[in-house]
Structure formats: structure tokens, C-alpha cells
Amino acid sequence: MHLITGANGQIGSALSKALIQKYGSDNVLLSDIRPIQMDAKFVILDVLDKNAMQQVVEINKVTHIYHLAAILSAKGEANPIWAWDINMKGYLNILDVAHNYKVEKVFYPSSIAAFGSDIDLSVARQNDVRNPETVYGISKVAGEIWGKYYFDKYGLDVRSVRFPGVIGWESMPGGGTTDYAVEIYHEALKHNYYECFLDENEALPMIYMEDTIRSIIELMNAPKEKITIRTSYNLQGISFAPKDIVAAIKHKLPNFKVKYVPDFRQEIAAAWPNVLDDRQAKQDWGWNPKFDLEKITNDMFLHLKPIYEKEQC
Ligand SMILES: NC(=O)c1ccc[n+]([C@@H]2O[C@H](COP(=O)([O-])OP(=O)(O)OC[C@H]3O[C@@H](n4cnc5c(N)ncnc54)[C@H](O)[C@@H]3O)[C@@H](O)[C@H]2O)c1
């Protein structure tokens, strides 16, 4: 059984559909603290409740866990200790239950937030020093190292990537610093206007949802001997700044207007790398992103335009 925590989130809702399609609805169990809208096997599970987690894993004979439940960067800065508890204690519960119940594989998403401004931010290499400047980033670095610890000490097969900001039409983002890159498409189609909370030149690594989901499935299915990184693999999709996404949208909506009103999230973004060097992921398990900014924009419009046109009727 494949168990997803945080299945109601931005990535979780897309991963849920993909895993159900791949493994069948009987073999995928979704969980979250918020009920889902999908017609699928689902259980309410707070990752801080270790007893409940043990029961869910034991009763359902869970073999694979995709641990997506977390508090993201912007929300985490508003309440650091709460974010640390959920991100850290929640993950330690997962690792310990996975070890005790002989779960075969655990997927753990780390983030570009694992890096801080003391590296060359033009490109973060796989083993660059990780001195993050948000509680979210601190929890991701600690999580990476705990995953490696469980692999080294107990042989638990933990696999992880450092995701860039994720863009998709299926779901709304959950309080991160890269949320603008999803919101902007919705606001463009709804109001032809967007107030951007990042500076127009703030380049960050991004990845389209289809590539995101494919990376999880490919990494989880790669032969064990190919996995040489047990902290977390850098994963690159495409890097761009707000002004680039605005230009891409203007190709489709020439009257689209943007006002830049940078807030506290600009400071977070300024300490993150512009590009992730993902050569190790490419070499080890064949990572290859397929979506550039033009393809992303075309696909976002393809799916979102009919929704907003219908709403306006
Ligand atoms: N979305 C991105 O751009 C991005 C980038 C890098 C890494 N990640 C990582 O990927 C994972 C998923 O991200 P997302 O964007 O889908 O996040 P999200 O905020 O959209 O979803 C997180 C989900 O976790 C659930 N949750 C919160 N507290 C919980 C608890 N105590 N127990 C169980 N569930 C709980 C929430 O209800 C929510 O549905 C996270 O670990 C995140 O750090 C995301």
C-alpha cells in the first residue's frame, strides 16, 4: 500500500491522482488533517499523532510512504515553533514508524530553501554548504540528514529531492515563497492584473507539476544501487524571474498589468539560489525536466482559461 501524508496539498492532490492511476485505487491510501474532495481511500491523519500513524501503517500494510505534510516557508516564518514541530516531529514519527513496521521506501521532499545566502546563489551545487535562513529551511536540512541517518543506521530506503517552486493548475499553493508563480496565472485570467510580492528580477528555480510528479515516481522506482545521495538530490526545472513570467503571459494577454509590491517573502527569496545544479540526479537516475516557461504557460492557459471563461458566463 502506498500512503501519502499531506495528500490534500498542492503536490499531494496531483500525486494522489498519479499514484492511483499507476498502482490502482485499492493500493493507494491518502491522508491529511483536512478532508479531501477526491473519491479515493482516505484517512484523517495528523502526522504528530504517532499512535494513529502506527495503526494506519500496520492495518493497511503500508509499503511506501510519500511524506508531504509540512508547513511551507512563508507560513513557517509567521509561526516558527509550530512549523518546526510539524515539519520535524512529524517526519521523525514517519521515519520511526517506517523503520519499526518495515516500510520498504520513504519519499521526503526537501527544498531550495535548504540553501542560504552564504553560497554562490547564481547556482547551488549538490554539496554546497546548507545554512538556511528560514525555519522551513532549517527543518528541511535537518530532515535530509535524519533521512540519511535512518538509511545508514537501519537500512531504511529513504529517497529525497530538493524541489524548486512548484507550478501547477490542479491545485493552489499552500503558503510558500514561490506561490506567486501559480497565483499570477489565476489573477491574469480573472482580473488581467496581479500584485506581485517578489521583485521583478528575483530569479528562482521552478518546476512544473507534471515534471514534479514524474520525478517522484522515477526516483522511487530507480534501482537502489543507483541512489548515491541519501540526503537529498538537487532538482532543477527551469529558472526565471517574475518579469519573465509576465512577458510569457503578455504573449497571450497583451493588456495584462502587474504591480510589484515586494513584502517579507522577497527577503526569503533573496537568500535562495537562482539555479540548482542537478547533474547528480541526471547521472544517477536519469532526471530530465520537460517543461520550459513557454510550455508551462501554454499548459496553464489550456487548463485554467476554460474554467474562468465558464465562471464569467
Ligand atoms: N510546493 C512547492 O513549491 C514545494 C517546493 C519545495 C518543497 N515542497 C515540499 O513538498 C511537500 C508538499 O508541499 P505542498 O506544496 O503540497 O504543501 P501544501 O501546504 O500545499 O500541503 C501540505 C499539506 O499538509 C497538510 N498538513 C499540515 N499539517 C499537517 C499535519 N500535522 N498532519 C497531516 N497533514 C498536515 C495540510 O493540510 C496540507 O494539505 C512539503 O514537504 C513541502 O515542503 C513544496
What is the pLDDT averaged over residues 161-184? 94
Q: Which CATH architecture has domain 2-164+209-234?
A: 3-Layer(aba) Sandwich (3.40)
What is the pLDDT averaged over residues 284-310? 96
**Quick check: helix, strand or coil at residue 271?**
coil
Residues marked active site are found at 136
What is the pLDDT averaged over residues 42-50? 98
Q: Which has the higher per-residue pLDDT, 149 or 311? A: 149
pTM of the model: 0.97
What is the pLDDT averaged over residues 96-102? 98
Mutate to test the pocket of ligand 1, among 29, 33, 141 (most ligand atoms within 8 A of CB): 33
Give pLDDT, residue 210. Answer: 98
Cα 153 to Cα 274: distance, rounded to the nearest angstrom:
34
Give pLDDT, residue 118. Answer: 95
Residue 313 has pLDDT above 80, yes or no: no
Backbone dihedral angles phi then psi of residue 155, each to the nearest 5 degrees = 75, 15
Cα 245 to Cα 187: distance, rounded to the nearest angstrom:
13
Give me the DSSP letters along 204-248: EEEEEHHHHHHHHHHHHHS-GGG---SS-EE---EEE-HHHHHHH
Cα 177 to Cα 165: distance, rounded to the nearest angstrom:
8
Residue 161 has pLDDT above 80, yes or no: yes
| Per-residue DSSP letter, 124 | B
For helices 180-191 and 293-312, angle between their N-to-C axes, nearest 10 degrees: 40
> CA 112, 114, 118, 123 torsion: positive or negative?
negative
Question: Which atom of ligand 1 has the smallest separation from the CA of 12?
Answer: 16
Grid cell at residue 254: 497583451
Give pLDDT, residue 36. Answer: 92
pLDDT > 70: percent of the chain: 100
Cα 130 to Cα 121: distance, rounded to the nearest angstrom:
12
Grid cell at residue 65: 510512504
8-20 pLDDT per residue, tens: 999 999 999 999 9
Residue 147 has pLDDT above 90, yes or no: yes
Q: What's the CATH class of domain 167-204+237-274+291-312?
A: alpha beta
* Ligand 1 center–CA 264 separation, angstroms: 20
In the chain, domain spans: 2-164+209-234, 167-204+237-274+291-312
* Ligand 1 center–CA 27 separation, angstroms: 22
Please give all residues whose beta carbon lies within 6 A of any atom in ligand 1, as ranges: 5-6, 8-12, 32-34, 45-48, 68-70, 72, 86, 90, 109, 111, 163, 165-166, 173-176, 178
What is the pLDDT averaged over residues 65-80? 96
Give pLDDT, residue 195. Answer: 97
* Ligand 1 center–CA 32 separation, angstroms: 10
